[in-house]
């Protein structure tokens, strides 16, 4: 069974700082890995998807890296803004059955 761990569980940073969110997973047999954003009481917003053959993916201020063999992914958010405050979820997609496994998330607060 895939186990996903996200570190740190929570962090607060002043506006403008760069964010580094870490995700590790136990089973490297994955199709892809997605990073999501979840605001309190809301659903999921897909941020980035990295295919298993890719090393990184970028969208605006967001950059996600993937080291499949070691079971790690990192989400970088440059020049953080108060609007980036949310919980960020990492979800590897299991090879064969397309199941997503979720960690508990990185809860981010960006202080104006």
Partner 1 sequence: GAVVSQHPSWVICKSGTSVKIECRSLDFQATTMFWYRQFPKQSLMLMATSNEGSKATYEQGVEKDKFLINHASLTLSTLTVTSAHPEDSSFYICSTLPGTKNIQYFGAGTRLSVL
Residues that bind partner 1 (CB under 8 A): 4, 31-32, 34, 36, 41-44, 46, 49, 89, 93, 97-105
Cβ closest to partner 1, residue 41 vs residue 60: 41
Structure tokens at 105: 């998330």
**Cα–Cα distance between 48 and 36 in angstroms, integer?**
7
Q: Could you tell me the smallest distance in angstroms from the CB atom of residue 24 to partner 1?
A: 14
Q: Could you tell me the smallest distance in angstroms from the CB atom of residue 13 to partner 1?
A: 21
Cβ closest to partner 1, residue 10 vs residue 111: 10
Q: Could you tell me the smallest distance in angstroms from the CB atom of residue 89 to partner 1?
A: 7
Structure tokens at 48: 């980035």
Q: Could you tell me the smallest distance in angstroms from the CB atom of residue 33 to partner 1?
A: 11
Q: Is 102 exposed, middle or buried (0-12, 13-18, 19+ CB in 10 A)?
A: middle
Cβ closest to partner 1, residue 14 vs residue 41: 41
**What is the enclosing helix (H) or strand (E) of 59?**
strand 56-59
**Cα–Cα distance between 41 and 75 in angstroms, integer?**
22
Cβ closest to partner 1, residue 74 vs residue 94: 94
Extract long-range pairs of 50-56: CB within 8 Å, 24+ residues apart: 52/95
């Amino acid at each position: 069974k895939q186990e996903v761990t996200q570190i740190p569980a929570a962090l607060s940073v002043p506006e403008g700082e760069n964010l580094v969110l870490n995700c590790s997973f136990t089973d490297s047999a994955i199709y892809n890995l997605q990073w999501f954003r979840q605001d309190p009481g809301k659903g999921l917003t897909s941020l980035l998807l990295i295919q298993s053959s890719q090393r990184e993916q970028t969208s605006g201020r967001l950059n996600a890296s993937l080291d499949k063999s070691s079971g790690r992914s990192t989400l970088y958010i440059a020049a953080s803004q108060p609007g980036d405050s949310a919980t960020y979820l990492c979800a590897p997609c299991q090879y064969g059955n397309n199941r997503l496994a979720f960690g508990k998330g990185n809860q981010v607060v960006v202080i104006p």
